[in-house]
Amino acid sequence: MRKLSYLPLLVPLLTVSPLAAVDYHVGPGQPQVAIADVPWATLAAGDRVLIHWRPSPYQEKWVINRPGTAAQPIVIRGIPGPAGQRPVIDGNGAVTPAGLNFWNEERGVIKIGGSNTPPDGLPAHILIEGLEIRSGRPPNTFTNDGGGTQGYANNAAAIYVEKAENLVIRDCVLHDSGNGLFIGAFNGQTRNILLEGNYFHSNGIVGSAFEHNSYTEALGITYQYNHFGPLRAGADGNNLKDRSAGLVVRYNWIEGGNRQLDLVESDSAVLIADPSYRETFVYGNVLIEPDGAGNSQIVHYGGDGGDAAKYRKGDLHFFHNTLVSTRSGNTTLLRLSTPDESADVRNNILYVTAGGSRLAMMNADGTLDLSHNWTKAGWVDSHGTLTGTINDDGTGILGTDPGFIDEAGQDFGLLPGADAEDAGGSLHPATLPDHLPVRHYLPHQGSLPRPVDAPFDLGAFELCGPGDCGILFADGFESGDTSGWSVVVGE
């Protein structure tokens, strides 16, 4: 279904000049009946491929490897159906168009970068939006560019990015694949990536920990307003796994996975050498840990490959997030991989439905600074042996209920008078001004303004005063009808 509008894009996507651009309309009754009818090998800056919804899915797969410009991006856009349905691109039984020639076809339904035809280059200023892309996984098969039948690899993705610069993927549903999204660093050429308002769910390979809802490595990448649902039943991968420099994860809903966030090392010397590799920003997110869901750790920061010299060895800024764990057993907020990783954790709601002692702040190593977080009383440093350091400034709020509007209904906005209201402290200087929380996540795949109100409320949502923004949660957001939504305001 279509969602609310978003913030202006981080990657400029300006009005396309009608003199330079060609619109290719694909679908029933359109000039191009099939996706294969689009001249993918010769797309030019400003061209738009407009794929119209139809009741049956498009069983086609292709490569995008042409450059747009900042003023004239190349756009691949789904045109919704009468009830807002996104066009479906189905990888199972898909056929590659004649005239394209690219490698690693088994790695994705839609591939970006890496081809012989079009001639290989660096695809740039690309926007993909409004599509549902699915079923890039074994045992599904496709017809490759040589006309043969081929199976997908375990690590295939709905969208596989070999390399790209200034790429936006927005308002897409990526599911039923090995990885919902895979982005490779390609020696540091992949950079400036925006993932906005997408829905990742039901990806992964049963019994494997190596495929994830999203798996990315780039120089400069922002996740915002995305909905991450659980992986495929029986899959052991993480929800959001990343190896990037310049990573920002803000205003997302992330539910389930072996870990919600697995933020580990890059193999690219370009990324490792960039100063932004050492600083990661995670804020304004709702992180939900279901009972019995994989690893009890919510966030892993550092590395997992064994070569500690490549690990992030920097600072994780984790603030204004709302964590809700319904585990009956233990929950651990953070695993820092080595003594050289640090985390600054402030202004969060860290809520477990079990007793307070079931929440541990760290696994073992690293340095953790705590300030102005809401928890139940009795939380512990670690459920194992703490070898690192926890610096608690004593400003935490202890309670039994943070004051959610409707915990059972997953409405984690705050009621007036909640423990978490006006309980925040100042932000870390390194987060300002670029990472001041200015939005709320809106279920699902949308956002609303967050007032900049002092003192801050804890967690992902700011309780608004009359005439500010309201926290809108209720039935009806799927259809865009706001008449039935509740507006919760401050006193």
For 411-451, how does the pLDDT look when each residue is reduced to its tens digit (9 = 90+)?
999 999 999 999 999 999 999 999 999 999 999 999 999 98
CA terminus-to-terminus distance, the chain: 34
Q: Are residues 199 and 114 in the same domain?
A: yes
User: Beta strands 411-414 and 404-406: pairing type?
Assistant: antiparallel
Q: Are residues 128 and 272 in the same domain?
A: no
Task: Report the alpha-carbon distance of residue 423 to residue 10 in Å, rounded.
Answer: 31
Same domain, 208 and 270: no
Instruction: Please check whether residues 314 and 371 belong to one and the same domain.
Output: yes
Helix/strand/coil percentages in the chain, nearest 5 = 5, 40, 55
249 in a domain, yes or no? no
Give CA–CA dist 12/10, Å, rounded: 6
456-471: burial string, b at 16+ Cβ within 10 Å, e else: bbbbbbbbbeeeebbb
288: alpha, beta or left, given left = phi > 0 and alpha = psi -120 to 50?
A: beta
397 in helix, strand or coil?
Answer: strand
251 in a domain, yes or no? no
Poorest-pLDDT segment among 5-19, 204-218, 299-313, 425-439: 5-19
Residue 316 backbone dihedrals phi, psi, to 5 degrees? -95, 120
Q: Which of 13, 282, 220 has the alpha carbon at shortest distance from 129?
A: 13
pLDDT band with cut points at 50, 70 and 90 for residue 216: very high
Residues 281 and 182 in one domain: no
| 3-class secondary-structure state, position 276 | helix
476 occurs within a structural domain: no
Task: Report the alpha-carbon distance of residue 409 to residue 459 in Å, rounded.
Answer: 17
Label the pairing between strands 297-301 and 261-263: parallel
Q: How far apart are CA 42 and CA 224, in angstroms?
A: 32
421 in any annotated domain: yes
Residues contacting 200, CB < 8 A, separation 6+: 174, 175, 180, 181, 213, 214, 226, 227, 228, 229, 239
CA distance 298 to 261: 6
Give the gyration radius of the chain's Cα atoms.
22
Any domain includes 252:
no
Give pLDDT, residue 491.
24
Query: Residue 18 pLDDT > 60, yes or no?
Result: no
3-state secondary structure of 256: coil
DSSP 16: P
Residues 218 and 322 in one domain: no
Q: Is the pLDDT of residue 465 over 60?
A: no
Residue 42 falls within a domain, yes or no? yes
Give strand pairing partners of 5: none
| Same domain, residue pair 317 and 180 | no
- Residue ranges making up the domain that contains 79: 1-237
- Report helix, strand or coil for 431: helix
User: In residues, how long is the chain?
Assistant: 491
Q: Is residue 432 assigned to a domain?
A: yes
Both 75 and 175 in one domain: the answer is yes
Q: How far apart are CA 310 and CA 191, in angstroms?
A: 19
Distance between CA atoms of 36 and 427, rounded to whole angstroms? 51
Kindly state the average pLDDT of the residues 144-172.
98
Buried/exposed 276-291: b ≥16 CB within 10 Å, e otherwise: bbebbbbbbbbbbbee
pTM of the model: 0.91
Amino acid present at 377: A
Domain count along the chain: 2
Buried b or exposed e, range 102-111, using 16+ CB within 10 angstroms: bebbbbbbbb
Residues 103 and 192 placed together within one structural domain of the fold: yes
> What is the distance between the alpha carbons of residues 370 and 299, in angstroms, rounded to a whole number?
15
- pLDDT tens column, 47-94: 999 999 999 999 999 999 999 999 999 999 999 999 999 999 999 999
CATH value at residue 130: 2.160.20
Q: Are strands 227-228 and 297-301 parallel, antiparallel or unpaired?
A: unpaired
Q: Look at residue 200 and tell me if it is in a domain.
A: yes
Q: Is residue 230 located within the same domain as residue 279?
A: no
Closest by CA to 282, choosing from 236, 333, 330, 237, is 333
Percentage, residues of the chain above pLDDT 90: 89
Task: Retrieve residue 393's tokens.
Answer: 């400034």
Residues 294, 226 within the same domain: no
Both 4 and 126 in one domain: the answer is yes
